[in-house]
Amino acid sequence: MIHSSPARRASGPVRTLLGAAAAVALAAAAAGCGDSGEPRGAGATPTAVGPTRLWPRLPPASTPAIDYGEADTETVRGVTAPGDDIHRVDPLAVVRAEIAAHPDRYRGPDAPYAEVARQLSYCEAGGTRAGTCPILQAYHRDLTGDGRDDLILGIRFPRNQLAVRVYTFLHHDLVDVMSTTDSVISVELAGRDVIIRSPSTLPGYEFRTVWSWDGHQNAMLATRDEILRVRPPSPRASRTVPPSALPSPAWSSAPARPASPAAAPPTPPAPATSPGTG
């Protein structure tokens, strides 16, 4: 008869204990290599200070603030599209409808935008002739969040101003839900927002206005209006980029002109044959 030794009979429990001890040791080693998981102090933080109301006894306003017309909307008369498909709306017909609805702005010798009405004769239905038609390329984006595209138009106005319009169908009517005219640096789309950058009279600053859809007003509202510090171009960048490489405004038909010597940044003396010396 073969008898098992005591050590062999105890090998099962001993192996179990050794395995558990090894697991604990590995866990401790892993914890030592990384974060212990316990909260750490972030150091001193500034005390939160709530807003302080000035002149608390000031009586409330009895009249609303100045109305800038951000919520003004207007139905475009006489312009429709099958199935309310905004892609089938003719931008030229939309601008003509605006001119017909506001003859005091576009017709007559004293009309401020009479030039726009005259320039429409250069436009073609469904497109434009570069440099002559005041209507810029149309864009289609969903700005209202209803899953259907809306129409964004840009119209060149006198004195290098740009009119930005947004149209959408509401209850089967084509409605102008955003209308603004200003000197413009750029127009951008970010999600469902229209961002317009405009120059400021303060050197080194510009205005940025964000227009967003408001479902209660059924209009695009100027939800954020900021004046921002902009970084001027460095003299090195001004010297290395030739004026002919700078893009001209999209609504300008004149070619970009080289910068005059007076407007160019100072440069070190150079031979008479080098660029910029004439």
Q: What's the pLDDT at 65?
A: 66
Measure the CA–CA gap between 140 and 138, rounded to whole angstroms: 7
Residue with the two structure tokens 């010597």 = 261
Mean pLDDT across the stretch 74-85? 96
**pTM of the prediction?**
0.65
**C-alpha dihedral sign at 129, 131, 132, 133:** positive
pLDDT at residue 277 greater than cutoff 90: no
Q: What is the residue extent of each domain of the chain?
A: 74-229
Whether 128 and 137 have beta carbons less than 8 Å apart is answered as yes
Question: What does the pLDDT look like over 133-160, one tens digit per residue?
Answer: 999 999 999 999 999 999 999 999 999 9
pLDDT computed for residue 167 by the predictor: 98
pLDDT digits (tens, 9 = 90+) for 156-212: 999 999 999 999 999 999 999 999 999 999 999 999 999 999 999 999 999 999 999
Q: What is the pLDDT of residues 48-62, one digit of tens each?
A: 888 898 998 989 888
- Cα four-point dihedral sign 112, 117, 122, 127: positive
Question: Which residue's structure tokens are 């409330």?
Answer: 60
Mean pLDDT lowest for which of 77-81, 180-184, 265-269?
Answer: 265-269
pLDDT confidence band for 257 (50 / 70 / 90) = very low
pLDDT tens sequence across 2-40: 444 444 444 444 444 445 444 545 455 555 555 566 777
Question: What CA–CA distances, in Å, run from 79 to 74, 85, 117, 164?
Answer: 12, 12, 18, 18
- Taking 80 as the threshold, does the pLDDT of residue 90 lie above it? yes
Instruction: Residue 184: name the closest of 209, 162, 156, 211 by CA.
Output: 162
Tell the residue number behind the tokens 């004769």, with chain if given: 121
The answer to whether residue 264 scores a pLDDT higher than 60 is no
Tell me which DSSP letter residue 88 carries. G
Q: What is the pLDDT of residue 177?
A: 97
Give the pLDDT score at 48.
80
Residue 248 confidence (pLDDT) above 60: no
Q: Residue 13: what pLDDT?
A: 44
**pLDDT higher at 84 or 275:** 84
Cα angle vertex 94, ends 90, 100, to 5°?
Answer: 140
Mean pLDDT across the chain, nearest whole number? 77
pLDDT value at residue 205: 96
Q: What share of the chain is helix, strand, coil (3-state, %, to 5)?
A: 25, 25, 50
CA distance 93 to 116: 14
